[in-house]
Amino acid sequence: MTALLDVVNLRTSFPTPSGLVRAVDGVNLKVEPGGSVGIVGESGSGKSVLSLTIMGLVACPPAIITADKIEFEGRDLSHASQAQWRGVRGNRLAMIFQDPMTSLNPFLTVGDQLAEPLIVHRQASAADARNKAKELLQRVGIPAASERLDAYPHQFSGGMRQRVMIAMAMACEPALIIADEPTTALDVTVQAQILDLMREIRESAGTAFVLITHDMGVAAGFCDEINVMYAGRVVERGSTRSIFRDPRHPYTKALLESVPRLDDPPGGRFLPIPGQPPDLTSLPVGCSYAPRCRWVQPGCLETAPTLVPVENDPARTKACFVDMADPKGQV
């Protein structure tokens, strides 16, 4: 089966007065039809820039974007024109943003905004678009949909607005939805509802998802595969189960340890990651995680590790020289 989305060696950098910010630095990403891939990392690790680049929403000057391949549904998008991008965006490839409070236009009714993708891509008539918008609202579980079509975003709660955003993303039945921290701005009970809704959509419509989050717990509940991102690079990749059971990268391990769990003993280990994320304008020569790493070895400071398969598990890759089980057994 060919991949739905195949990104190879994607780099996005921003020239700034203090130097070139390498926000995304050679990322590979593959999403199968109907799959769900998680991208996890601290804030500032380049997750949003990665998703916006895949959506073609990073303005190319000033940003510098290079990629060996950005293939979506068999079409290469790395040289697409603006018009081609517009034909894909919102149609086959949709996005859900982090903050539902600000990603809806305060001056348009919810119905008008839901109808917009249909009008843009399907040339729907106003009446058709309105009917479809009503169906979409019902689909995402908003009661009294026909009355709420004429309401304005400020009359909706955060959870309801995120449902509207999801409905908008679904409007043209896209093959892939990129959700950039869709639950971060919501409180915990609403988070679970939104994730349930996304899971339900994935199962019934077969839509593939890329879920971006800084929360390992959220990714665990939703994704089949997890990519751990650090300083613009993917440092570890594997199936959700294997990553949780046996993290192979010190950063992944630290991320997992920093999440409080119900089965933690009271007063037990709950470790925040020490240090700060690195300055993306001047990354260290070696591994960019080395300054914060508990297992750091002299070799880590000299050469940067690349993403290589883990010995006994070919489906997993990591970018680290250290074997955490036996730190002395450095490659």
Partner 1 sequence: MSSSPFPARFRRPWNEHPLSLPANVLWVFTVLLATGVGLLSDFSILAWLAVVGMTIAATGVTWVVRSTLDSPNVSSKPSDVMKGTSLWKDALRRWRRHQMATASSVVLLTIALACASQHALIHLVPIAMNQRTIDFAPDSFFSLHIDHTRTHEGHTYQPPSSRHWFGTDSLGRDLFARTLFGGGISFLVGLVGTLVSVAIGVSWGATAGYAGGRIDTWMMRAVDILYGLPFLFLVILIMTLVNGLGTIASKAEQRYAEIEMNRAQGDLAQVAALEEKITAEERTALWMTRLFPPIVVVFIAIGLVSWLTMARITRGQVLSLREREFVTAARAIGAGPLRIIFLHIVPNLLGPVIVYSTLTIPEIMLSEAFLSFIGLGISEPSCSWGTLASEGLAGINVIKPRWWLMFYPAAALSISLFCLNFIGDGLRDALDPKGDRR
Ligand X SMILES: Nc1ncnc2c1ncn2[C@@H]1O[C@H](COP(=O)(O)OP(=O)(O)O)[C@@H](O)[C@H]1O
Among 4, 7, 23, 287, which residue interacts with ligand X (rule: CB under 6 A)?
23
- The contact pattern for ligand X, residues 40-79, with x = CB under 6 A and - = no contact, is -x-xxxxxxx------------------------------
227 binds ligand X (CB under 6 A): no
227 binds Mg ion (CB under 5 A): no
Residue 117 touches which of ligand X, partner 1, Mg ion, none (CB < 5 to 8 A by kind)? partner 1
Min CB(265)–Mg ion separation in Å: 33
Of 9 and 16, which CB lies nearer to ligand X in the complex structure?
Answer: 16
109 binds partner 1 (CB under 8 A): yes
48 binds Mg ion (CB under 5 A): yes
106 binds partner 1 (CB under 8 A): yes
213 binds Mg ion (CB under 5 A): no
- Quick one: which of 191, 58, 28, 1 has its CA closest to 179? 191
Min CB(71)–ligand X separation in Å: 22
Q: How many residues does the chain have?
A: 331
Of 44 and 87, which CB lies nearer to partner 1 in the complex structure?
Answer: 87
**Contacts to partner 1 from residues 43-102, by CB under 8 A:** 52, 55, 57, 86-91, 94-95, 97, 99, 102
- Cα–Cα dist 318/203, whole Å: 30
**Contacts to partner 1 from residues 126-155, by CB under 8 A:** 147-148, 150-152, 154-155
Amino acid 86 reads: R
Min CB(152)–partner 1 separation in Å: 6
120 binds partner 1 (CB under 8 A): yes
Task: State the SS3 of 189-258.
Answer: HHHHHHHHHHHHHHHHHCCEEEEEECCHHHHHHHCCEEEEEECCEEEEEEEHHHHHHCCCCHHHHHHHHC
Q: Which residues bind ligand X (CB under 6 A)?
A: 14, 16, 21, 23, 41, 43-49, 280
Q: Which residues bind Mg ion (CB under 5 A)?
A: 48
Q: Which residues bind partner 1 (CB under 8 A)?
A: 52, 55, 57, 86-91, 94-95, 97, 99, 102-109, 116-117, 120-121, 147-148, 150-152, 154-155, 165, 168
